[in-house]
Amino acid sequence: MTYCLGILTNSGLVMAADSRTNAGVDYISTYQKLFDFSSPGERVLILCCSGNLSITQNVIALLKKDLKLPEDTNLHTLPTLFEVARYIGSKIRLAQEQDRTWMEKDKIDVKCSFLMGGQICGEEPGLYLIYSQGNCIHATQETPFLQIGETKYGKPILDRTITYETSLNHAAKCVLLSLDSTMKSNISVGPPINIILYKSDTFKIQHQLQLPLGDPYLAKIRKSWELSVKEAFALMPDIEWQTESNSSGNEVFID
């Protein structure tokens, strides 16, 4: 399992992913889940992936192969982000079909999904979720973030804090807190954390970071966030319980 997310704002986007794929008592493995396919000065393309590891690695290999060979269609020749998303979707279907028969014999799930964000010259920045079937949706001003993988633990903070007008710095902090909340509740998500911040119309990645296990900043934000949550909880008004009188005149509290 893994957790990846992206946030689209009016000034750019932030994308991040953990790196854990297995988490057992005696076996933990990590693989990179965030990839930069940018062509500086012309387009920025960032991919995150979740799901069957062999399938996602196959998709990444197919995308890289098309870039190395003189293919007419690849990540750097398609003119729009939508067409890039559909192209990635076609590679997902191809990778699944290559191995589906044998994997399904052993009841192995071949599903996977991708987040793709960035900007191509002539377009506004965009963020897409590409499903296992190859179709896609995009983030909007009303729904400015997208998630894949283990999404439920990190979603509440996004729902409460993120809007299209959120600054990129605040969005980046929210991304890390969303990941930390997920790591706190699910051992299958863990460091290293990779995060990229992209400013609109710069057409190059200027801000990226990898936070390994035990990183002081990760520990600092976790401690600060937990303290802030506890302080906010202590300030919540007490519940005003409804009561009713029983036949003896004693008050009974309704649970």
130-161 pLDDT, tens digit per residue, is 999 999 999 999 999 999 999 999 999 999 99
- Across the chain, the runs of DSSP E, i.e. the strands, are 3-9, 12-17, 20-23, 28-30, 34-36, 43-51, 112-120, 126-130, 136-138, 145-149, 193-199, 207-211, 243-245, 251-253
Q: Residue for token digits 């399992």?
A: 1
C-beta of residue 15 within 8 angstroms of C-beta of residue 45: no
Return the closest-CA partner of residue 59 out of 128, 3, 115.
115
Res 28: pLDDT? 72
> For residue 70, is pLDDT > 90?
no
Res 101: pLDDT? 86
> For residue 73, is pLDDT > 70?
yes
Q: What is the mean pLDDT of the chain?
A: 91
Helices (runs of H) and strands (runs of E) counted in the chain: 5, 14
Tell me how far apart the alpha carbons of residues 205 and 22 are, in angstroms, rounded to a whole number.
30
Confidence of residue 242 (pLDDT cuts 50, 70, 90): confident
Which of 20-34, 167-181, 231-245 has the weakest average pLDDT?
20-34
C-beta of residue 136 within 8 angstroms of C-beta of residue 77: no
Confidence of residue 205 (pLDDT cuts 50, 70, 90): very high
- The average pLDDT across 32-39 equals 96
- Spatial neighbors of 242 by CB under 8 A, at least 6 apart, are 254
Regarding predicted confidence, which is higher, 101 or 123? Answer: 123
- The average pLDDT across 86-93 equals 97
Res 250: pLDDT? 55
The CATH architecture one would assign to domain 3-253 is: 4-Layer Sandwich (3.60)
> For residue 11, is pLDDT > 60?
yes
Which of 170-174, 183-187, 235-239 has the weakest average pLDDT?
183-187
Res 224: pLDDT? 94
Which of 94-103, 149-158, 174-183 has the weakest average pLDDT?
94-103
% of the chain surpassing 70 pLDDT = 93
Query: What residues are paired with 9 via a beta bridge?
Result: 12
- The average pLDDT across 30-54 equals 95
**What residue ranges do the domains of the chain occupy?**
3-253
